[in-house]
Amino acid sequence: MSGVTLSGVKKSYGSVEVLHGIDLDIQPGEFVVFVGPSGCGKSTLLRMIAGLEEITAGTLEIDGRVVNSLTPKERGIAMVFQSYALYPHMTVYENMAFGLSLGRNTPKSEIDRRVREAAEILQITPYLDRRPKELSGGQRQRVAIGRAITRDPRVFLFDEPLSNLDAALRVATRLEIARLAERMSDTTMVYVTHDQVEAMTLADRIVVLNQGMIEQFGTPMELYRNPANLFVARFIGSPSMNIVPGVFSPEDNGFAIALEAGERIHISRPLPGTGGPGYIGLRPEDTTLVAEEGALFAGKVMMTEPLGEVTLAYVDIGREETPFVVKLPGEPNIKRGDFVFLGAEEDCLHLFDADGRRVREMAV
């Protein structure tokens, strides 16, 4: 089992620095997912681990050994690309065997065993004699994963492997990757995606990147329940967390939050910090319809989106920027134009200071 440690890792292209001193310790056998907006540096970071991009500064260790100057082949890694990168003139079997037969002196019997074992794991044994053009996108991606498996890597890297697949194939292939991770529990896996559903369902821990820096590193539920700042709060969760600016001030039995629209929310807990400007966050799924006397927010329904098991309601609570989104079970009896009152349990409220940093831990 091999861990991956990055210490002060930077990446620059000329005078432009795209990664700003990344410190990260990925444990042996861990499944870690990099997420973040386009251009945040997640794929660049993965390619630096793979040895496909040079490290400008800092050190990268795999299994306790500094590998900055080692080639990809010498690092004991295998990588699955977004584009599959299969040889079109080779059969599935030949594609999966190619890396083993290239200058490794691996016996043919051992190559055959590894290829057929990987094919069995990924349920592609019936396709071993076919060429890539005869396969669906999901089958091609499984072949690419199988080719990586045959190398018996110490570290397994995935660069947005499902982004070229349609929705149904993404779900099916995601399940394949989850089963693969369970079977290869001794192998460290690092996975890049822009899809937070993939991140939340696959990861042991998630790295949230933004503008070349780590915003937070933790388990999926740590990020969801206790986002370190406004960026993580907005990025993790779908629909994203509702964020409302306000001013915190102490009261006899707790504190109050005065909102821009004039409402005043009373919280029966000690005031975190010294008060002043800040933000209150509330997830759509933690919000309920309540009577007026129990309301935190109130407003007119702008639109509803019935999705079957849930309905999304977009409510104008007096903010100019964006509506307040509520996720309600089933088909609630509300429609466009209705005036509604919204409430939530105090423990569901997320509080952030004026700089967007979390000021109170929430129950998980």
> Could you tell me which residues come within 8 angstroms of residue 145 by beta carbon, excluding any fewer than 6 positions away?
80, 122, 161, 176, 177, 180
Tens of pLDDT along 55-93? 999 999 999 999 999 998 899 899 998 888 899 999 999
φ/ψ of residue 147, rounded to 5: -60, -40
CATH superfamily of 242-353: Nucleic acid-binding proteins (2.40.50.140)
Tens of pLDDT along 101-143? 766 678 999 999 999 999 998 889 999 999 999 998 888 988 9
Please give the pLDDT value at position 363. Answer: 40
Buried b (16+ CB within 10 A) or exposed e, 106-141: eeeeebeebbeebbebbebeebbeebbeebeebbbb
Whether residue 208 contacts residue 217, with contact meaning beta carbons closer than 8 Å, is answered with yes
Please give the pLDDT value at position 360. Answer: 65
Helix axes 108-121, 137-150, angle to 10 degrees: 140
Using CA atoms, how far apart are residues 2 and 120, in angstroms rounded to an integer? 25
Map out the domains of the chain as residue ranges. Answer: 4-234, 242-353
Please give the pLDDT value at position 364. Answer: 37
Whether residue 356 contacts residue 230, with contact meaning beta carbons closer than 8 Å, is answered with yes
Residue percentage of the chain with pLDDT more than 90: 65
Using CA atoms, how far apart are residues 276 and 257, in angstroms rounded to an integer? 9
Show the low-confidence residues of the chain (pLDDT under 70).
1, 102-104, 261, 320, 360-364
Whether residue 336 contacts residue 305, with contact meaning beta carbons closer than 8 Å, is answered with no
Pick one of 3.90.550.10, 2.70.98.40, 3.40.50.300, 3.40.50.720 as the CATH number of 4-234: 3.40.50.300
Instruction: State yes or no: cis peptide before 239, omega within 30 of 0.
Output: yes
